[in-house]
Structure 1
């Protein structure tokens, strides 16, 4: 059975941003953050060009705090950055417009949530080696307004049509089901609850490693598809029995409580119209044929 979307109705527009410099908040005066056990730490975090962490790598184990794999970009001011974060869709093409890597192409793979609001883009490592903070990146946005034919209750969020086409999927008893690597039980959902689902990310909790392993989440990789159980992300993220949200692991975990791997939600439905099935290896690296 063919599962189609309103591809001919979609409008493709340009979005722009520059490679963001890693930064620290102005206060407190010291740069340290607190781990879940109360110990201060100082580790690399979001922003910049990450040369050695990519989609397909482990989401755990790095000496880092919610690192973005590949390249992170931001818009020129808050309004522009908001448009960039909302309208960019996973799977969209990114083009380097300035600098030594001018003309190189990448793929949007994630969105960062509150406090950073950056767009995460995969470029091959050879391209990253030629990039610099401040390089201008153009996104060919396509996907906002997309809907699944025959499934009006399924809301799509920041999902490009090329990625939707590549997803493992089927219809069972009228319900759209998407292949995922694992399911995240509602009690393991962390930072992001209550915030908007238009852009940003929703984190899973990773402080309790035994619970993580029990749920089959301890081997997740960046780019894996996962399903959040009993989670409604139509407008903002919250608990709703029977709802489901499906997303892509976009950021690594970190030492802080509530900030395990960050996930960019790409679809959601409130009352059983959307489901999932376990499909090992469902990852953006293979779905979109991303180069190392």
Structure 2
């Protein structure tokens, strides 16, 4: 694919490792039971990109390291300009100089999710400063002007196995998600800075229960050109699963959209495996 990546600005954005967050000691499930489980933020040691999005005793678990803006005025650029596949660098603490990779963004709490290898995780602490070399917003597909691209590092886009055939882009995905499966996050004003959730109930019919963190999925009949989750018959949105399933109603694995367009041009094709962990060689 021909792109304008040589014109894309690479710029630093900054945040700090966020502490674990819980709005209450208790999480209420869709079945009406009460759980005491981890929810958001912190450094997650044993949930990683490439692992299942389901089955964890947690809620909205963010794999690896959760990064938040230090000040309110830094929040919008951190969340908007960071793209999946961007390089992240530890700038303070015992792991200073170590490098990782952005694997997602989580709206609402406004966390950027970063993968680091195990030996780096053991040296990190809450409050360590993380610099992200943001690169990707403004990316265009020169020969496909009707396809909008966002939230993805240009180099990663080239590695996910998209093929061109008869004026169409064929994108490998592990699942096609019906529009009515999408929940929390619909209606957000910018699809370039947030995610939205696959509601977890009744998922077996579409094989969604097998989703892994980092999987590529297609959301059917949703246009994410600007706002999140606009229903439009014939539209396709391609996204990456960025956080785990949830226990509360209307929530589930979060998806950050990286491409959106009409089915006449953008064609999702089911593949046995299509995960950014393999594209980025993450361990």
1:180-259 mapped onto 2 (5 Å cutoff):
180-195=173-188, 196-208=190-202, 212-237=203-228, 238-259=230-251
Q: What TM-score does the superposition give when structure 1 sets the normalisation length? A: 0.93
Partner of 1:32: 26
Conserved? CA contact 2:27–2:247, under 8 Å: no
* Gap regions ≥5 residues in structure 1: none
Q: The residue matched to 2:170 in structure 1 has which SS?
A: strand
Partner of 1:128: 121
Is 1:165 the counterpart of 2:158 in the alignment? yes
Conserved? CA contact 2:3–2:141, under 8 Å: yes
Question: Pairwise CA RMSD of aligned residues?
Answer: 1.2
- 1:55 deviates by 0.5
* Gap regions ≥5 residues in structure 2: none
- 1:272 deviates by 3.1
Partner of 1:137: 130
- 1:270 deviates by 4.2
Alpha-carbon displacement from aligned partner over 1:108-159 (angstroms, at most 9, x marks no partner): 0000022x11000000111101100000000011111110111111111111
- 1:217 deviates by 1.1
- 1:41 deviates by 2.4
What count of residue pairs does the alignment treat as equivalent? 281
Q: The residue matched to 2:158 in structure 1 has which SS?
A: helix
Q: What TM-score does the superposition give when structure 2 sets the normalisation length? A: 0.96
- 1:269 deviates by 1.3
2-structure distance, mates of 1:105, 1:132: 15
Partner of 2:279: 287
Alpha-carbon displacement from aligned partner over 1:170-222 (angstroms, at most 9, x marks no partner): 123312221111111112111111112121111101122xxx11101111111
2-structure distance, mates of 1:251, 1:36: 18
1:271-286 mapped onto 2 (5 Å cutoff):
272-286=264-278
Q: The residue matched to 2:245 in structure 1 has which SS?
A: coil
Conserved? CA contact 1:95–1:103, under 8 Å: yes
Q: Which deviates more from structure 2 when the two are superposed, residues 169-178 or residues 246-255?
A: 169-178
1-structure distance, mates of 2:264, 2:72: 36
1:45-84 mapped onto 2 (5 Å cutoff):
45-84=39-78
1-structure distance, mates of 2:36, 2:165: 48
Q: The residue matched to 1:206 in structure 2 has which SS?
A: coil
Is 1:149 the counterpart of 2:142 in the alignment? yes
Conserved? CA contact 2:191–2:257, under 8 Å: yes
Partner of 2:19: 21
